[in-house]
Chain A
Amino acid sequence: MSEQKSSQTMEAYPEEGMKSKIKGPVYIDDTTLRDGEQTAGVVFANEEKIHIAKMLSRIGVHQIEVGIPTMGGDEKEAIKQIVDLELPTSILAWNRAVISDIKHSLDCGVDAVAVSISASDIHIENKLRRDRQWVLDSILSAVEFAKDHQLYVSVNAEDASRADPEFLIEFANAAKQSGADRLRYCDTVGILDPLETYKRVKTLIQEVDLPIEMHTHNDFGMATANAIAGLEAGATYVNTTVNGLGERAGNAALEELVMALQYTVGVEMDIQTSLFRDLGEYVALASGRMLPAWKPIVGSNLFVYESEGRASGVIRDPTTYEIFLPGEVGLLRRFSVGKYSGPSVIRRKLREQGYHPSKEEVQKLVPIMRSRSIALKRSLFDNEVVEVYSMLRERRDV
């Protein structure tokens, strides 16, 4: 990483003004069933693929990327079955920029295809062992074939974030000329930050007259933020996965993106967010990957209050610490007594259990509960809290 590069990136920032530039609408193309399943070790049963497709359609995503028909066998069968459901959602299949791949997609009856090919020299030279012209020719023949068969076509610029910006424009224009409907900008290795993403996507949009889709990876923990940065720069589609499932560190998470757009950026999204927790749990089970309790938006711990500072605020008024209500994503608010708990949580917990401790009793309970929790190296169960309180009462009564 050269001195020049770092100073160049440090200067990049969006124009001033506090308001979001996203005018909406934002279209979501979910790829849990393709990039999500491509994660090392993850395999969905066909029945699971079908169920996930139904759920995604129900919550209101606009397009579902269902898989890779050219893999044949079970994969092709699952895709056909999803198409047969006739969901009110576009069904997209993934292809290399190869006509034989697209023929497999046609067999499945999908209405849309992604035609994917690398845009970076590092991929073109090392992986494909071809040259730029070969890439452009491949786009042309594959897209023309797909358009001749009335498919909606997204051209995926794989590794776009490491491509020569000049060539990327050429690449995008080739896609446009061959009749593509949109261009997917892939930060395949997850190496962008939001301000850099903004700058690059903005430049691309100025040069190319095609709708842009963001496909971002989480290698440095910035997938969601980068996807939003692309939307701020004018992209209109975004490729997500449930729980951020995806290769390596995963993709931009559907639930994070939707909620961040609604609550941090202020874009209205017509999505059934109350199903997020259910969907998250289903995909967690089907992918064999537990949902961490601290997972943004859908983690089971998000609305659990233990420390005094937060609990006392939320008991007075949930808006002190909650940006959206737990029910909005299918979660519940809970209180838990632990090392950082103070009078508010203890009183609250005892009341939930049907007790009405006095102020003095609560004050006495704070250090006792704290010591217990420290000794046990965990939060206390409700019946342990009640037990401690009963012991205190008995001692006083004696």
Chain B
Amino acid sequence: MSRLSNIRLLDTTLRDGEQAVGVIFTPREKRQISSILAAIGIPAVEVGFPALGPEEKACILAVVDAGIMTKDGNPLEVSAFARARREDVKDAADCHVDSVIISISTSDTHIERKFQADQAWVLEQVKEAAEEAEKHNLAFTISAEDASRTELSFLIEFFRLAEEIGAVRVRYCDSLGVEDPYTSYRRIKYIRQETSLPIEVHMHNDFGMATANVMAGIRAGASSVVGSIGGLGERTGNSPIEEVVMALKHLYGMDLGIDTSQFREVAEYVAQASQRAIPIWKAIVGTNVFAHESGIHADGILKNPDSYEAFKPEEVGLERQIVIGKHSGTQSLKHKFLAGFRIELDDETAQELLEKVRSTTVELKRPLFNKELILLYEDTNSKPSKE
């Protein structure tokens, strides 16, 4: 069915994810999350920012020392984040990670207003940081922060320099999530034409388009994606890795070989560790994604799940539910009573019951529990005999 794809995934739940305000992982959690990610087939993780100090270094070492293997029997690639500074790279080397992300802003806004420097200074910083990485025999990615607001000509110059100094790949960051998919597509396609290193995309969700921008980047030739579980990350977060994996599989027919049936469980673990509940409507892993209430949808689902489902709930570790509420129809009521209570409703009873269900749900402002349904049914059924 699907063809295998050469898209590489890198999960940054433990770095950009942890940078979300108020989120902190313990060393045990960092190790545990790395193991879980490896077990479902994620090949690489960005685990932290060593320059933060001894606690963070201990966290990263905990992951490195665990010697985690992926589902496919390869060692998990453990990566750390560094600003383009010698001392940050040295801190990463101290943690014995497999690779380091050397990051610096490339947009004029950031260079002028944040660094109060110029483009030549940026290139110099990167060169020095790369030298330091070479010294420690560390593989490195060169990351352009705020790439989406960077003039294309400078971005090309920056990425060409990355190639000269021996980077493994370059990272294109939409740090503020300001791109729309067309712009991502056009810019990355152009970069792909003008440079030769593999391109990694890192997209933020400020306008709700992170996943769409990643998909556009892949169409334009990017071959590596940074994502996080549930999209955890600064402000509105990153592209959720579960959305990218499922969209690649079901929209593009590209199977990355990830064990998607564990997605719900992984998301739950990260939700607990980050103390951020998974919204029930979260795409791919929310518990309501396979809950159907409206008469039309429930009826369609009962006849054939493909009517309203792009993939089966089991594929992501969820279950299908038919909820009885304000928008339910007679077909789902009949189904509910037959399957749940072994009661066969005739058309007339179903219609009468439906009206009661509607007024009761509006009054209670919620769907009904089984017990309430039975009570309404008894109420409906007893009336004719009384009269």
Contact = CB atoms under 8 A, between A and B. Distances in A.
Interface of A: 1-3, 5-6, 9-10, 13-14, 16, 18, 20, 37-46, 68, 71-75, 96, 122-123, 126-127, 129, 159, 188-196, 198, 218-226, 228-229, 232, 244-250, 253, 256, 259-260, 263-265, 288-290, 292-297, 299, 301-302, 304, 306-307, 309-310, 312-313, 316-317, 319-323, 336, 338-340, 367, 370-371, 373-374, 377-379
A247 B297 contact: yes
Contact of A225 (B3, B181, B284): B181
Residue of A18, A219, A221, A222 most packed against chain B (CB within 10 A): A221
Contact of A371 (B55, B208, B355, B365): B55
A379 B21 contact: yes
Interface string B30-58: 00000000000000000001001101100
B250 A191 contact: yes
B236 A299 contact: yes
The 6 A-B pairs at the shortest CB distance, nearest first, are namely: A225-B212, A1-B253, A6-B253, A40-B293, A256-B208, A221-B211
A225 B185 contact: no
Nearest to A222: B212
Contacts of B251: 1, 9, 191-193, 196, 220
Interface stretch (B163-171, B261-269, B307-315): B307-315
Given A193-B251, A225-B180, A312-B114, A301 B235 contact: yes
A260 B208 contact: yes
Interface stretch (B94-102, B131-139, B322-330, B336-344): B322-330
Given A40-B321, A221-B247, A222-B212, A302 B185 contact: no
A302 B235 contact: yes
Contacts of B293: 38-41
B219 A10 contact: yes
A68 B275 CA distance: 38
A194 B182 contact: yes
A232 B289 CA distance: 28
B300 A127 contact: yes
Contacts of B209: 222, 224-225, 228, 256, 260, 264
Nearest to A307: B19
A101 B104 CA distance: 60
Contacts of B325: 40-43
B212 A193 contact: yes
21 contacts: A1-B1, A71-B327, A192-B251, A193-B247, A194-B180, A220-B243, A220-B251, A220-B283, A222-B212, A225-B213, A247-B292, A247-B308, A253-B208, A264-B180, A264-B183, A296-B206, A302-B206, A306-B19, A306-B22, A340-B52, A378-B22
Given A126-B300, A259-B207, A226 B212 contact: yes
Contacts of A304: 21
User: Interface residue tally of chain B, by bracket?
Assistant: 35 or more
A335 to B, nearest CB: 10
B253 A379 contact: no
Nearest to B292: A40
Given A41-B323, A45-B362, A260-B207, A336 B254 contact: no
Contacts of B208: 223-225, 244, 253, 256, 260, 296-297
Contact of A316 (B114, B326, B355): B114
Contact of B19 (A13, A39, A323, A340): A340
Contacts of A222: 209, 211-212, 215, 247
A107 B76 CA distance: 64
Contacts of A39: 281, 288, 293
B117 to A, nearest CB: 13
Nearest to A232: B182
Contact of A43 (B186, B283, B326): B326
Residue of B185, B235, B286 most packed against chain A (CB within 10 A): B235
Contacts of A313: 110, 113-114
Given A256-B207, A316-B114, 4 more contacts: A38-B294, A38-B297, A264-B178, A320-B109
Given A10-B252, A225-B213, A75 B358 contact: yes
Contact of B367 (A14, A40, A219, A228): A40
Contact of A248 (B179, B216, B237, B288): B288
Contacts of A5: 253
B216 A195 contact: yes
B274 to A, nearest CB: 10
Contact of A41 (B20, B110, B367): B367
A220 to B, nearest CB: 4
A123 B300 CA distance: 8
Given A9-B252, A14-B182, A323-B176, A41 B206 contact: no
Interface string B361-372: 110111100000
